[in-house]
Structure 1
């Protein structure tokens, strides 16, 4: 049956035994074919100078999607040699095959079988095909590196000559890895710079910072360098006025007994009015922790107020800091006040009150009452209570005794013991600070 099962006479033409016999001769058996039928040189040329395929119907070209010549296995001819040809290849490199005008290899020449594309071999780590033994060492052409601009420094030789061949292992795979790494670094730097610019713009700055400056390093200019830590601005505290200080309560123990030693408030305040002049001094017990200047001012302004004992120019009061005053207004702790009041036969420890120690030069003002006031005036009338306390105790020094309220709902007399009560003999009166009130 032969090589085919088809019956009938053998077709004449290329590929038949007659043609094959013609190709035999001194050159020996023919080289393996390429799988395609060779064109006959005596066949008439078709349109465009091409010879139509013999003994076959005319068909259209191959798959239109195969635009790249050679498909996935490349176009580069890779020579393959028989055993007897490899022996002579050591002395003489194989000649480059020639083609006829029709693009076919000439008769008696071994056709070339295409090999895999070099890009695929290098991408999968396959070594390049070795050159023929004994031939010149020519480095194979490398494909264009898409990252050559960013990875060029990795390919430069470190030796004295720039023309020296590249070291082994720095082939296309190394360049690709280096290029990808450099591209990744460039991308990260771009993201960092963009973040810095966005952060600066968010903080109100429109100037972009240079990308090559490390703000945290010693050579970089940090925004915190040369700038002192901002000190929070203290809110301007407006000093309290005299009236505000007189309306505030101050802490003091109702059972306090201080050192018993006094110090005189320095300075003096001239008598502002006419009439009989009374000279007084102010002593304050050490260790009270109260504002002695406030106390001295309160005594001077209260006694010389027209609603007080200086009403209508009847008398005037002058503060001095020397010896031999008419009396000494003394601010002392509850324990010390009790001691000095007891010298005049008065007991102030029961209700923790003040007194005029008539047997001495001192008009005693209980520091606890001065600091905390009393329930009869309440916390909202501390200013008025302190004025009443000064007028009441100095009134005793001027010769006035206690007087009680006789009209319900009326203002209590300044000489009433208002620290103890405003309700005496079932007659309740209102608190009052002045000798001559205007209400």
Structure 2
């Protein structure tokens, strides 16, 4: 471009032509390299009337002359500033036109918008990496969901929590009567014991109580050193089928009463459990298992251990016992569900045959 400049704009220019850069500078950028500048959305196009006498842009031809150094060109002071401002404005218009055209053709609907320029301008613009969708993050290799990141529950903590929890059950419930074996097996704690007793665990269907938890409590209780092992004399192995010595059965109060009556035992008055000696079943009353007794209060865990040891003790041949001295531990074969006092002597609740082991 040569160093020519135009004369001052005519004072008769219309209101639409008074704003923005002069047309000569817009014309200067309309070449094959940059293409014709695109209109900015929202800006009204200048209203022109092209006539043969007004030239290509509807404006009378302007007189041009080469500027002489030091010559103001017949214009008032500040003309050079306006000239530079016009050049800058034309450049801004051109850049905005390119950006707007890019956004219209791809930025919003058809593809990614034009990325911002690089940081210091010395190299190409940095690539813009789109943020992955949440679904992509969840399915990408190595990604962990909130559930996967959580530590698995501690079985011991779960067991202890359930052992100290009372469960709701109707004391007058008579269940389906269908007694279902709990799947799985558990080995004897002492396989070298003099006698290894094989037992099965059945739970009445429809009780709403956790059958596997019940089976776990029975096995842990019977194989505790304080239970009926007697220092290597016995140990207990749980089976779910085949040969067995007895069946520990969790049943509703109505079903439990039916099985106890088969051995001549009436448990309805105190809604308790029994060893139905004429059958293979040691009967655990589900209501007692769920709610405990007044004698044990809130200590439902110890009550459940006593209930298993007491009824299995009957299966092993042990009869009822009484409180021997004031403040002593109650014998496990004492009817602790009903009372802790005999002949004016009150014992302390105790769930174990050998509590000192």
- Normalization by structure 1: what TM-score? 0.51
Alignment partner, residue 133 of structure 2 = 227
**Relative to structure 1, is the Cα distance of residues 383 and 164 closer, same or farther in structure 2, using a 3 angstrom cutoff?**
closer
Correspondence for 2:291 among 372, 391, 394:
372
Alignment partner, residue 321 of structure 1 = 240
Query: How do residues 350-429 of structure 1 correspond to structure 2 at under 5 angstroms?
Result: 350-379=269-298, 381-429=299-347
Alignment partner, residue 264 of structure 2 = 345
CA distance in 2, matches of 1:158, 1:253: 97
Shift of 1:320: 2.5
Shift of 1:361: 1.2
Q: Which has the larger radius of gyration?
A: 1
Alignment partner, residue 63 of structure 2 = none
Report if aligned partners of 2:165, 2:300 keep a CA contact under 8 Å in 1: yes
Shift of 1:216: 9.9
Report if aligned partners of 1:353, 1:369 keep a CA contact under 8 Å in 2: yes
Q: Could you report, residue by residue, the CA deviation over 1:17-41 in whole angstroms, capped at 9, with x for unpaired residues?
A: xxxxxxxxxxxxxxxxxxxxxxxxx
| Count of residues in Structure 1 that have an aligned counterpart in Structure 2 | 261
Report if aligned partners of 1:282, 1:329 keep a CA contact under 8 Å in 2: yes
Alignment partner, residue 21 of structure 2 = 149
What CA RMSD, in Å, does the superposition of the two structures yield over aligned residues? 3.8
- Structure 2 SS opposite 1:369: helix
Q: Could you report, residue by residue, the CA deviation over 1:351-375 in whole angstroms, capped at 9, with x for unpaired residues?
A: 2211111121110011122222223
**Structure 1: any 5+ residue segments left out of the alignment?**
1-138, 167-185, 187-209
- Structure 2 SS opposite 1:319: strand
- Structure 1 SS opposite 2:237: strand
Query: How do residues 40-439 of structure 1 correspond to structure 2 at under 5 angstroms?
Result: 141-142=12-13, 147-149=19-21, 154-155=45-46, 157=48, 163=56, 165=58, 217-219=108-110, 227-228=133-134, 233-234=146-147, 235-236=150-151, 238-241=153-156, 242-273=159-190, 274-379=193-298, 381-438=299-356
CA distance in 2, matches of 1:378, 1:224: 63
Higher relative contact order (CA 8 A, sep 6+): 2
Shift of 1:388: 0.7
Report if aligned partners of 1:305, 1:311 keep a CA contact under 8 Å in 2: no
- Normalization by structure 2: what TM-score? 0.62
Greater shift, 235-244 or 325-334, is seen at 235-244
**Structure 2: any 5+ residue segments left out of the alignment?**
1-9, 27-38, 40-44, 60-91, 93-99, 114-128, 139-144
Report if aligned partners of 1:329, 1:365 keep a CA contact under 8 Å in 2: yes
Alignment partner, residue 35 of structure 2 = none
Shift of 1:165: 4.3
CA distance in 2, matches of 1:216, 1:392: 79
